[in-house]
Structure 1
Amino acid sequence: MAISFDKALGVHQYTVGLRERNAELIATNIAQADTPGFKAKGMDFQQALQAATSGTSMGLDITDGRHIPASSSMGSGDVLFRTPTQPDTGDGNTVDVNLERNLFMQNQLRHQASLDFLGGKFKGLTKALKGE
């Protein structure tokens, strides 16, 4: 009997990579907090997760006949500009450091929860394969 990893691991196999991508975006926002004109970016996590679980690709275009067709079912999600939550300070930067720190912590907690879940699933699968 074959093991279906999609059924065994559920959505968590996709959330790990998406959470890592989201952490990169948030970390970039925090790093650019003092850069004039920098616009805070984020991703629509639900949309990216839906794209990853449905198997749709990112839609990379082939612009030359020598290009190798490329697609990713990871569904990295569209990077969007975040709506500013604080008044403009005059330099055009839209990063709210407190908001970004909170989003980063929330993202990391959910990332760790997915890793813990996957670890438990793999332990269970290992036991099943060993016949324990």
Structure 2
Amino acid sequence: MSALGFNNSLGIHPTALTTRAERSEVLANNLANSDTPGFKARDFDFQAVLRGEVEQRRSLSVNRTNARHLEGRATAEQQLDFRVPHQPAIDGNTVDPHYEHAQFTENALSYDASFEFLNSKFMGLRNALRGE
């Protein structure tokens, strides 16, 4: 008989939430540097990072030397690439503020959706534990 654990009940959603937060930081950094000469916009493919997480969970088992050690996790920063500019500025800056705002907004909406999903899962688990 297998015990019901958070990983089984929540699936990939906590990782998706963390990855969305990491992407928000990258996109906000791009926007903050939109007027910095020579700044190169960066981003990562959310789906590719998430696929990597799923594959890592399936194929790798990290050998921990102590039960209190945290499990290893590949970060989105390892897959951070420079964005190919639509029209680079004369000063070498590759940030397109309109595009970055659109990406940031889309990412924020997806983050909120993931957060709401996890919140409803936790509410369901809490109600199940209380017998409601």
Does TM, scored on the shorter chain, surpass 0.5? yes
The structure whose residues are more often helix, as a share, is 2
Q: In the comparison of the two structures, how many residue pairs are matched? A: 118
Equivalent residues of 1:12, 1:114 under 8 A apart: yes
Find the residue that maps to 2:43 and give its secondary structure. Answer: strand
Which residue in 2 is equivalent to 1:79? 80
Show the 5 A alignment for 1:106-117: 106-117=106-117
- 1:90-111 CA deviation, whole Å, 9 max, x = no partner? 1000000000000000000000
TM-score normalised according to structure 2 size:
0.81
Partner in structure 2 of residue 4 of structure 1: 5
Distance 1:102 1:4, change over 3 A: same
Q: Given residue 79 of structure 1, which amino acid in structure 2 is its aligned partner?
A: L
Q: Which runs of 5+ in 1 are unaligned?
A: 57-69
Are 1:50 and 2:51 matched, yes or no?
Answer: yes
Against the structure 1 CA distance between its residues 71 and 13, is the aligned structure 2 distance closer, same or farther, given a 3 Å change threshold?
Answer: closer
Is the CA contact (8 Å cut-off) linking 1:33 and 1:97 kept in structure 2?
A: yes
TM-score (norm 1): 0.81
**1:1-132 to 2 correspondence within 5 Å?**
2-55=3-56, 72-76=72-76, 77-86=78-87, 88-132=88-132
Per-residue deviation, 1:13: 1.1
Percent of aligned pairs with the same residue? 40
